[in-house]
Structure 1
Amino acid sequence: MGKLSKKQRAAERLQENIAVLRCPICHEDVTLKDQQNIICPNRHVFDLAKQGYLNMAKQSQSTIYDTSLFSARQRLNDAGFYQPLVNQLDQELADLAPKTVLDAGCGEGSHLQQLNKRRQIPFPVGIDLAKEGIRQAAKHDEDVQWIVADLANIPMDNQSVDVLLNILSPSNYAEFERVLADDGVVIKVVPNQGYLKELRQQLDQTDYSNNDVVDRFRESFDIIRKQRVVAQQHLSEAMFQDLIQMTPLTQDADLNQLSYTQHVTLDLTVLVGQKKLKIKKSLR
């Protein structure tokens, strides 16, 4: 028997874990049909692409992120720029032994790819609304289930996720709380003031604080651990070009006006949270 195609491998993985997913339109359970698509009882159909990813977005939506941005981010990750962060995330996962890990807002999926290679997660899932990012992720890694989906309407069942990753990405805490198992953890990565400070100085964007972001996270989850990741990362000229192409900091900047710098600061905080304890009043 020959090697399975990406689509066939994805179909097998989905068949084993189909109970984790739900229809994003009517929220009913779904089934895999003919190894081609996902369907719910109300006949909402979501196609499994030949690259192995699922498109479960209710409607296509353009984003500011394109293929060149995701390619630059992939190369930067492959070159080890975010290695200290991946090492810390791997450490967080080491004692948890999760079955289902969701990377919410995964982009091109580099972080989840690296973590899964180390941990061999039983059911790793990466979702993002940017189809180009998901397509890029599926191109580079066929061991993760990649899904085009909206963070405001995650196509996963209630309490189905053991670990939810949210790395330098927008959040939807109501949905995060819904899909997270009662004993699960959510790991959010936020930038600190020193993050890419050499670039921020050139862009005159040094006035930054993550206090509001951390406070919002704390409103939804109990923070059980907080770890700072700081490193001075060496950049080749090619890596610098990838960095300025992929970061949202340069969205409105003229990239030709930015000067190459050999060292850039990685300064991030990893927040590990759990669902808040709900104190029930006893009936008397």
Structure 2
Amino acid sequence: MDAPDIKQIICIKWGTKFGPEYVNRLHGMIARNITPPFRLFCFTDDGSGLHPDVAVRPLPEFTYQAPVGTKGKWPKSRLWGDLGDVTGVVLFLDLDVIVTGNLDPFFTFGDPDDTILGRNPNTPFEKLGQTSVYRMRVGKLKPLQDIFRADPQAVADRYKYEQRFVTRNAPGGVRFWPRGWLAHFRMHSVPPFPLNYIREPKVPKNSRIVIFAGNLNPPDAIAGRWTEDEQHRPPLDHLRATFGGRRESLSKHLRHYLLPASWVRDLWRE
């Protein structure tokens, strides 16, 4: 596939979990790792505080009964249909990713009509896509909105996560990014036990984007904590808690520790 005249990247921000700094830092990371011209579109219910070079667009209209008791990011379904004046091929990025390499290949890999997802590293024996970083032609996934709208709770109960629903139902199927382009912070950056107590996380070799799935986001990585409701503790203090005061199983407690990630601090900026 030839590079498009302008590389279009989209993101979505709703509610209060992520502030404008996530969008602005995403824009900065993209700008430092892409051959222009490019444009970042942010679909949001609150565009205040966003960098002037970010193209702000309202959240697309998509009425459905939100499913309950599911972990999937189902509001992302708003992007499966019409996106107003944003047309053609777009690359979607989650707000909490870290760009670690050149992004140009994400716009030339495969066919422009392909729907391309990352591989979910948590399910190596299931060909499951990961929607933190995916490319699509705007409108191609609209049939998924019709399926989802008909019975959102049933869809959520069956597929659990929106990425599994997209993987199994995308018109024409899905392709996956080449291995190594995407890395998972917890799995590929944090050293395994016991090295996680003496070595700080490193940039995964040859990666282009590092994703932050679950409750560990860039600010947590910078602070050296596994979840946002924790405080960083020196290695020995964390080890002492193994014998009293831990909230998880022994194995999880020992694995769920990281030193502050200086590389995330250095790259996650405007």
Q: TM-score range by the shorter chain?
A: 0.3 to 0.5
User: If the length of structure 1 is used for normalisation, what is the TM-score?
Assistant: 0.33
User: If the length of structure 2 is used for normalisation, what is the TM-score?
Assistant: 0.34
Q: RCO greater where, 1 or 2, for CA within 8 Å and sep 6 or more?
A: 2
